[in-house]
Structure 1
Amino acid sequence: MLDVISSTLTSAVAIAISPIPIIAVILMLMTPRATRLGVSFLVAWFLGIVVATTVAALLSGVLPEPSMNESQPVLGAIMLVIGAGLLFLGWRQWRSRPGPSETAELPAWMTKIDGLRTPAAFGLGFALAAVNPKNLLVAASAGAVIGRSDLPEGEFIAVVAVFSGVAALSVLLPVLTMLIVPRVAASALDTIRSWLTDNNATIMTVLLTVIGINVIGKGIGLFA
């Protein structure tokens, strides 16, 4: 079980440091409904990662089980497609970065966060985790590893929980900080939000490129 966790840890960290959900939850924590919106977004974000990872793991587990030392071309091809998709998204992020004299802008939907209600915050958190192409591909790559590890049910659940927990840490920490020390959190989170906004494209480019190359390497190895 531990080797599966270690194999998926890079993907979990990649999801965890994705700037967009962190910025979104920080903006929610700066509204009058900070607690309700922040907690709702956090729960949905965690559940979305669990669902995306579990579905990918179950689908990969349906593939025919290879004999010892036998290649796995079907899973290898899937990994190559996922890796190529991650590299493509990384290239798009690099192309979208602001120029030296330009100001980074948040997605248009973020300007409406002030008016969100709890159900909408929940839906947004789940969508960013389970439907957003970037996170979906990263979760799918981890799910493929988990699904092919032939773990007992209890260990399977534990691995998915650990993976999702690590991936959700970056959203959990701002929420906990606001709940425990709200006065200190306000200024600190605003500074973090500004930095992440300015560097979103660069961060995501590096993450997607590293994960994409890693997934492609694993895919090639499955043809051997």
Structure 2
Amino acid sequence: MVLDLVIIGLAIAVFPLSVTAFVLVLSVRGGTLKGLAFILAWLACFVAVLAAVLLTTGGEPPAPKSPPSTAASAVKLAIGVGLLGYGWYKYRSRHRNAGRTGRRHKSSGGLMARLDRLSLWQAAGLGPLLQPWGLVAAGAATVVDADLSHASSYLALFGYCLLATSSLLAMEIYTTFAPASARVRLGRLRTWIESHQEQALVAVALVAGLFLVSRSIAQLTS
């Protein structure tokens, strides 16, 4: 379970769409406070999903080859196949969308003007909305195997939540304590992500998909 949560948590932490959206939130007027609202809502939703799974299982992992265990592995397999399909689709469509890049950049000024009017509640609403829900669901299916009778499971779950949110927390802390430097470096990060977003999405989707497919097949056939 721990290895699965580490890989899924890393994939969530570096998911390009979430990172880009958070950089945009930090760059607007009052961005530090709005970023905090984004993170708190993100974490609340994340923890609520895990809590719902643990309440369903009672904190006890299902027996191997039991219907709940098989269902959890099947869910991860389906998500893995979906990620592979998504990654392949994005790879195939990357060249077709190359000509639209200029139009996206031209509209960035209007987007920033709208984001400047973003309220704290709206920033909080963006947190759960922009989570990579396929990966979150894969993590939830993995947490089915958590055994809350052992302290190590609590540590693993805490580490998973922290890892999945680590990129957002790092940017929030950086912006809070070094706003001038953060503005420049996060601007560069945003520019890099926007110019490499398709490649990053393909890489994250394919790596996470391959991992989930291989692990779930091993669990279903072992």
TM-score normalised by structure 2 residue count: 0.81
Q: Tell me: CA distance 1:201–1:61, structure 2 relative to 1, closer, same or farther (3 Å).
A: farther
Report the CA distance between 1:222 and its aligned residue: 2.4
Number of residues of Structure 1 aligned to a counterpart in Structure 2: 215
Aligned to 1:103: 101
Structure 2: which 5+ residue stretches go unaligned?
none
Q: Distance in 1 between matches of 2:205 and 2:57?
A: 21
1:199 and 2:201 are equivalent in the alignment: no
Q: Distance in 1 between matches of 2:26 and 2:70?
A: 46
Aligned to 1:220: 217
Q: Structure 2 residue aligned with 1:146, among 118, 143, 152?
A: 143
Report the CA distance between 1:49 and its aligned residue: 2.5
Structure 1: which 5+ residue stretches go unaligned?
130-134
Q: Distance in 1 between matches of 2:76 and 2:215?
A: 7
Aligned to 1:208: 205
Report the CA distance between 1:145 and its aligned residue: 2.2
Q: Tell me: CA distance 1:87–1:52, structure 2 relative to 1, closer, same or farther (3 Å).
A: farther
Cα deviation code 1:35-85 (max 9, x no counterpart): 221111121222232233444565577999335x88954333222212112
Q: Distance in 1 between matches of 2:111 and 2:17?
A: 9
Aligned to 2:162: 165
Cα deviation code 1:154-212 (max 9, x no counterpart): 55443222111111111111111111011111111111001011111111111111111
Aligned to 1:132: none
1:83 and 2:80 are equivalent in the alignment: yes
TM-score normalised by structure 1 residue count: 0.81
Q: Structure 1 residue aligned with 2:116, among 91, 114, 117?
A: 114
Q: Tell me: CA distance 1:63–1:209, structure 2 relative to 1, closer, same or farther (3 Å).
A: farther
Aligned to 1:124: 126
Identity of aligned residues (%): 24
Aligned to 1:43: 40
**Are 1:60 and 1:143, in contact at CA under 8 Å, matched by a contact in 2?**
no
Q: Tell me: CA distance 1:186–1:60, structure 2 relative to 1, closer, same or farther (3 Å).
A: same
Q: Distance in 2 between matches of 1:200 and 1:222?
A: 33
CA RMSD of aligned residues (A): 3.1
Amino acid at match of 2:138: S
**Are 2:54 and 2:144, in contact at CA under 8 Å, matched by a contact in 1?**
yes
1:13 and 2:13 are equivalent in the alignment: no
Q: Distance in 2 between matches of 1:144 and 1:110?
A: 36
